[in-house]
Amino acid sequence: MLLAPKDYVRSPEAAAARYTTAEAEAYTRWLATHHYENFQVVSFLLPRRLHQDFYNVYSYCRWADDLGDEMGDRAESLRLLAWWRDQLEAMYAGEALHPIFVALRGTVTRHSIPKEPFGDLIRAFEQDQTVNRYATWEELYGYCRNSANPVGRLVLYLCGYSDGERQRLSDATCTALQLANFWQDVAVDLEKDRVYIPLEVMARHGYTLDELNARRMTPAFREMMREIVARAREFFAAGLPLSSMVDRRLALDIDLFSRGGLRILHKIAAQDYDVLARRPAISKAERAWLLLVSLARLALARAA
């Protein structure tokens, strides 16, 4: 059984192999529970009947991300992402060969998931290979529409929701989470030569790319961060009604993610917006506290 994208794409034997649904699902389950990320794919609140479907969707996203970031060559990443799109098209045509698509085919059928969110994610990973600066907020939102929002929509489909209103609210929450992650990782992204702060915002505050690359913490940088943190908070507020429109278990996950993102924004403000010297992070104790707060909040809301 193949273990990683590099192994598969460079092995004619792996590419020629054929997988049963059971073998393919065993692989996605292994990938989702053993990947190097410190990330729990399946919440303890998620019904067991959905676990495998979440593993399958996660594995699709994980592979697409690795094809974009782990190949070490942008041209090769673009070639492999185009190949991944071909595999997606083949699956929807009933001709899945790659084990992830063999596993994912059942998930797509069971939950009537359209091709668009999967394709949008590939588009975002392709954009990562060619774009490392964003001139305006609209350009950055366009990236979020492909990189973050499809994930929320896929989760809604898996949990039985496909209406436009819930998708709109999910988009707001996912964009907020993406922005919070960007502002948390300003210094980390600089190491990859990526800047997600819109250049129009930098110019308005009189802060330059040269200063950013030099990690210069100035009053202009502080005011710039204050503005973009406030923008992320607006998106969190816009998506807030979603948790009252879904199953209690999913509502708790949504509430936890939102509170986690808001906590990151709070920490950025608490360190006077200096994300260049220190990356704000949430401790395990804080995560436990957020869980308790979310449980209490949802219990009160349901009792009201």
Q: What is the pLDDT of residue 300?
A: 58
Other beta carbons within 10 Å of 226: 14
Q: How far, in Å, CA of 61 to CA of 142, rounded?
A: 19
What is the CATH topology of the domain spanning 1-130? Answer: Farnesyl Diphosphate Synthase (1.10.600)
Q: What is the pLDDT of residue 36?
A: 47
CATH number for region 132-304 = 1.10.600.10
The residue type of 53 is: D
Phi and psi angles of residue 123, each rounded to the nearest 5 degrees, phi first:
-60, -40
| pTM: predicted TM-score of the whole model, two decimal places | 0.89
Domain 1-130 and domain 132-304, same fold? Reply is yes
Half-sphere exposure (CA, 13 Å, Cβ side) for 161? 20
Residues of the chain below pLDDT 50: 36-39
Q: Where are the domains of the chain?
A: 1-130, 132-304
Other beta carbons within 10 Å of 186: 21
Chain mean pLDDT for the chain: 89
| Residues 6+ positions from 136 with CB-CB distance below 8 Å | 198, 199, 200
Q: What is the pLDDT of residue 38?
A: 39
Q: How far, in Å, CA of 241 to CA of 69, rounded?
A: 34
Q: What is the pLDDT of residue 37?
A: 47
Q: What is the pLDDT of residue 290?
A: 60
Helix, strand, coil content of the chain in percent (nearest 5): 75, 0, 25
